Structure formats: structure tokens, C-alpha cells
A and B are shown apart, each in its own frame.
Chain A
Amino acid sequence: MSVLWCHRQARVGLILLALMVLAVFVGPLFVGDPDAFVGRPLDPPSLSHLLGTTGQGQDVFAQTIVGGRTTLGLGLVVGLAVVMVGSVIGGLAGYIGGRVDDVLSFLINVFLVLPGLPLMVVLAAYLPAGPGSMAAVLILTGWAWNARVLRAQVASFRRRDFVEAAIVAGESPMRVLIVEILPNMASLLGGSVLGATTYAVGAQVGLEFLGLGDLGAVTWGTNLYWATNDSALLTGSWWTFVPTGTCVALTGLSLALINFGLDSVTNPALSADVGRGAPGPQPTPVRRST
């Protein structure tokens, strides 16, 4: 973690993410009920309502803060779950190899070529609304990508000398996986969780925007759904959809920045401050002190 902090972009990302998490999990204690009718509908931002009111006269600020709790919370949980499912299946395939690998790889490939968004739309439409269904849909459509990546990594590690040595020495497969292979994949897993969370938040918001989520709940996605429904664009009420959209973007940005940092740690060649903008490989420069 300390290494990430040194990376400028990652540091910004971490701070941003921390602020957002703080805002959405602690913030609701300080704002009023987002569902309550507080004033004239479609009122622009003012001192009484920092971000104005929605088409139903609700406080946009409260809705933005409270909405984040479900969206971010579910996003993080689903992100972790997707990586867990993906690592178990991918890990088993990569580690055991042979027939098991053939079957699991086929399964992974089938899920990979299934078109995600339509599948999500269909599933979301037919399952009862609620966070459980949303989580199920997201995990079902998202696990395969991680599984493939992790399978490849585990398979390549499996063939490395130190793993073979451990197996010959009699370590149980479980131990080999957890003690020998897993620590080496820490950054890949970290990056996967970041990516999966980004995907989970984005997909959630997308589905809810289409009206396929729990319309009674207050989430970032439903905020945007209601904003469109109340003709935000036609009335020019930008405050009903700009704050939520920006929050989603800031979440995605923070995760991406942390990911940049993680990329640089695993592959220092990818750091931001390598090179001076010269075209292509240059001869070693000569700098004389006198």
C-alpha cells in the first residue's frame, strides 16, 4: 500500500476514493430523508437546497449522498465477489489442468462470448427487483473475464520451478495455491478487484437507468432514471443529473488512478515518468558535469 502512495496518480485516486466512501457512508447521517418532499420541484441550486430539487420536489443533494451508499456498497461487494468466483474457477482450471481445465475453459469461453448487456437486460427484467437480484445478474455476467485472466496466470505459475519444487516436496495443493502462488498474484488480484468494481458500479447504474432496478430505492442509477423521466433535459434542469453522473465518474476515475499506480508497480516501465517525450528509443544521453 505504501508503494502505491508514492505514485502520484494512485495517491490522488486513493484520497478521492476515501472521500467518496466517507461521504456516502457517513454523509447520510447529516442529510435529510432523500424521499421527502422539501420544496418546489425542479428548483435550481440555492442556499436552502445546495443542489436544487428534483422533478418530485426532493433534495438532490440528499439523493446524491444517500444514493451512493447502495451503489458504491453493492459495487464493492460485487467487485469482490466477481473476482472470487473468477479466481476459484480460473484458478482451478489453471492449476489442475487436463480434463478439468478443458471443461472449465469451455465454460469460461461460453460465458465470455455471451453478450453481456443484453443478457443483463433480460435477466434484470425477469428477476424480482432488489440488491440480491442485481448482484446475481452482475456476478453472472462478469465473472468470466476475470476467470480467464487468472487461469492464464495460475497456469503459468504452476509451471514455475519453485512451485514444482513445492509439489515434489509434498506440499498439499491447497497450500501450494495459497502460500506459493497467491502472494505472487497480489497485484493482479488487486487490479482485478478495481476493474470489477468499476464494472459493477457502471453496470448497476446502466441497468437502473433503463428502469430495470428497484425503482423505489434511492441509488445513483435510479436518480438518473427519474431525472430522465421528469424530462430533465427538456426543462434544462441540469442539476438533477449532473451531480450523480459526476459522482459516478469520480468513482470510476479514482479506481482507474489507483489501477494506474498498481500497473506501474507491477511493470515499472508503465510509470508516468519514464522518458522525456523523445520519439522512440534514443541513444543514452551524455551529460558532462564540467
Chain B
Amino acid sequence: MTALLPHLVRRLGFYLLAAFAALTLNFFVPRMMPGDPATAIFARFQGKLDPAALDAMSTAFGISDAPLYTQYLDYLLNTLHGELGTSLTYFPAPVTAVIGTGLMWTVVLAGTALVIAFAAGSAIGAWAAWRRGGLLDRIAPPLLAFIGAFPYFWLAMVAVWGLGFQLGWFPVRHAYSPEVSPGWSLEFVGSAIQHAFLPAGTMIVASLGGWLLTMRNTMVGVLDTDAIRYAQARGLSPRRILWHYAVRNAMLPSLTSFGMALGFVLSGALLTEIVFGYPGQGYLLLQAVRGQDYPLLQGLFLTISLAVLAANFAVDVLTLVLDPRIRR
């Protein structure tokens, strides 16, 4: 394990640097945007916020008279303290609270959909490659490529129309029924699952093809190598070859992609949330954009960036642990 330390430190270094870059980018973007955040905020907040909070907001949006680098440092300090400002559209809720509510829904919805799509897609893809030239192998790739080629929200809309309106099997909007109050009751959880069906289901159907194809192609490549021939020549059973040679060697590239996708979970559910009115991060992002809610926008962007970086780092660590070739 100690042999891995220098690699880990290097990767951590990169991610810290990237996080820093994300923070900096976040600082400069409002200052570069057309329109005047300064006036907007001032006009809406004057008299409603205490001077300290107003100062923090001003700093974050480049309103103050202090030189740029002071503003930058103040912004960094504020951010590290979790002081992200107050949302304009959800006034007077602080940005952190607004993001907090959205976070859970997005993570649960998109996270579940990703895990299911990845697991099912990879499993089917691996199976298709194992039974090379069989029915599954010949039909699945083009079929799923076609389904995946439809714009995601289009599939979602068709699902809403068909399964939601026409057949009435599933609810078509929101994360849970408005009659049920949030909490850990069975009723609430049940309602949440029912409401998650269409959004998650459409996400899974749309992304299944991608995972399937990636795994299939990787497996086909692995099955073509000398190692498989050699394993066969030694009389190893097909089961042994499937799991310890084919799957084990094909897993790594897939896992790397999975990790990256995991990072994007916070952002990837955007279209889903909008079509289904699901109150997650993506939905909030669009609201923030439309409402010129700069504090919320900045906060959302920050959380998403940091989540992506964290997920990528986790994948890097996992790869380091699983691939013996990197250790020396």
C-alpha cells in the first residue's frame, strides 16, 4: 500500500489545483458576464440584508471598491467558510440551504439511474461480447444506438405522454405526491419511488446503450488477446476465463468511465429534472439562470465542480488499488 502513496499524492495535488482553478473561474465568471449583477443585487437587497452579508455578496460579485486581489482573497475565505450568499429567487433562503434541498433529490435520482444503467448495460454488453456473433451481439448495439440517439428529453416526453397521461400508470411531475408530507414514513418513500419511476426509467433507457457498447467493445478487445488463448490452452473452464480473464481485465476502463459519470451525476440530471419538474440541482440551475440569481448560480456551479473533482479522485484511487500494473 505504501508503494501507492506517491501516486496518490500526485493525483490529490492535481485535484486540489483543479479545485482551485474551479474556484477562481467561479470568481471571474460573474464579472465577465454581460448585464450588471451589481445593480441587480443592490437593487433587490438594499435594506433587506445586514451590512456584513451585503458586503460578502458585494465581494463575491465584484461590486466593492477594493482592489481585485483583495476581493479574490475575501471571496476565497468566504467560500471556505461556507458563506455562499443569499439566493435571489428563493429569498431569504441562503444559497447553501437551497442547494441542500436540491442535492439529495438529484443524487438519489441520478445516482440510482446511473448505477442501474451502468450495471445492466455493462452486464448485457459483457454477455453480448461473450456470446460473440449471437443474436444479442448483432441486435443490441444498433438498436440501443438508435434509442440513445433520440434526444433524452424527447424520450422523456414520450414516456410522460404514453405512460403518464395516456395510460396513467405513473405520475408525471414532482418528486413526491403533494398530499404526502416529507419524512421517513413508508407513505413518503413509496410516493417518492413512484414519482422517480419515469424520470429514472427514461434516464436508464437512454444511457443503457452507451454502457453496453463500451463494455462490449472492451470485452471483445480483451477476448482477442493472447492471454485468453493461453488460458484456454491450459484447459481452464469457460467460467474461469469469463470472470477472471475477460471481466476482470475489461472492468478497469469501464470503472474509469463510471467514475467520471458519477461525478457528473450532479449535473447530468438537468434535462430530466426539467421535463419532470423534479426539484434537483439541475432544475435549480435553470431557475437561477432564468431569474438571474447570481449567488445561487455561483453556488450551484461550485458544488457541481467540487463533486466532479471528488468523484474523479475517488476513481483514481480505485484504479490505483485495482490495477496491479501501476504498482511497482
- A residues whose Cβ falls under 8 Å from a Cβ of B: 9, 106, 109-110, 113-119, 121-122, 125-128, 198, 202, 205-206, 209-210, 212, 224, 228, 232-234, 236, 238, 241-242, 245-246, 248-253, 256-257, 260, 263, 267, 269-270, 272-281, 283
- Provide the residues of chain B in CB contact with A256, threshold 8 Å: 142, 145-146, 148-149
B131 touches A224 (CB 8 A): no
Given contacts A110-B21, A122-B301, A275-B137, contact A249 B146 (CB under 8 A): yes
Other A-B pairs beyond A118-B285, A122-B289, 16, CB < 8 Å: A109-B14, A110-B21, A110-B22, A115-B266, A115-B304, A125-B289, A126-B33, A209-B153, A224-B154, A236-B161, A249-B146, A253-B149, A272-B133, A276-B133, A277-B135, A283-B232
Q: Mark B169-183, 1 if CB is under 8 A from A, else 0.
A: 000000000000000
Q: Which residue of the partner chain, among A118, A125, A275, contacts B300 with CB atoms under 8 Å? A: A118
- Residue numbers in B under 8 Å from A249 (CB-CB): 146-147, 149-151, 154
Taking a contact as CB atoms under 8 Å apart, the answer to whether B132 and A275 are in contact is yes
Task: Identify the interface centre among B145, B263, B271: most chain A CB within 10 Å of its CB.
Answer: B145
Interface of A is mostly: helix
B278 beta carbon closer than 8 Å to chain A: no
Shortest distance between the CB of B92 and any CB in chain A (Å): 24
Contact with A along B242-257 (1 / 0, CB 8 A): 1000100000000000
- Tell which of A251, A270, A281 touches B217, judged by Cβ atoms closer than 8 Å: A270
In the bound complex, what is the Cα–Cα distance between A224 and B151 (angstroms)?
A: 10
Query: In the assembly, what is the distance between CA of A251 and CA of B151, in Å?
Result: 11
Say yes or no: A251-B224 contact (C-beta < 8 A), given A122-B297, A210-B274.
no
What would 18 A/B residue contacts be, using CB atoms closer than 8 Å?
A109-B14, A113-B18, A114-B308, A115-B266, A116-B264, A116-B267, A118-B301, A119-B301, A122-B29, A205-B151, A224-B153, A236-B165, A252-B150, A260-B141, A270-B221, A274-B133, A275-B132, A280-B242
- Asked if A274 and B132 sit within 8 Å, CB to CB, the answer is yes
Give the total number of A-B pairs whose CB atoms are below 8 A apart.
175
* Given A233-B165, A277-B133: A245 in contact with B150 (beta carbons within 8 A): yes
B268 adjacent to A117 (CB under 8 Å): yes
Residues from chain B with Cβ under 8 Å of A212 in the complex: 289
Interface residues of B in 269-283 (CB under 8 A from A): 270-271, 274, 282
Query: B126-146 toward A: CB 8 Å interface, digit per residue (1/0)?
Result: 000011111101100110011
A113 touches B309 (CB 8 A): yes
Q: Please indicate the chain B residues that have their CB under 8 angstroms from the CB of A279 in the complex.
A: 130-131, 238, 242
Considering only residues 202-251 of chain B, those with a C-beta below 8 Å from chain A are 217, 220-221, 223-224, 228-229, 232, 238, 241-242, 246
Q: A109–B33 Cα gap in the complex (Å)?
A: 24
